[in-house]
Amino acid sequence: CGTSGVSGVPALRSALGSSLAGAQGKTIEDQNRIDRTMAPGCAIGFYKPDECDRHSKASAGRRAELKN
């Protein structure tokens, strides 16, 4: 391939975003922030498919807990 991708920490930060900072999973908004951080990493293959699947299941479980 003759093209080189963007590399380095700034590019990774840009790809993953900064929504996670401060999120503690105590509210639905916190869970949204966690999910917004995971989603790009799953989309670009940064995380393995099984890691993304585990996160999706854990997120659904946490959302159910927070609704109660």
Task: Tell whether 50 is covered by a domain.
Answer: yes
Q: What is the pLDDT of residues 3-59, one digit of tens each?
A: 566 567 777 777 676 677 777 788 999 899 899 888 988 998 888 999 999 999 999
- The model's pTM is 0.71
* Of 66 and 19, the one with more pLDDT: 66
Q: What is residue 52's predicted lDDT score, i.e. its pLDDT?
A: 94
Range of the domain at 36: 9-67
Residue 2 lies in a domain: no
Q: Left (φ > 0), alpha (ψ -120 to 50) or beta: where does 25 sit?
A: left
**What pLDDT does residue 25 have?**
80
CA separation for the pair 9, 49 (Å, rounded): 22
Number of domains in the chain: 1
39 lies in some domain: yes
Q: Answer for the pair 25, 34: CB distance below 8 angstroms, yes or no.
A: yes
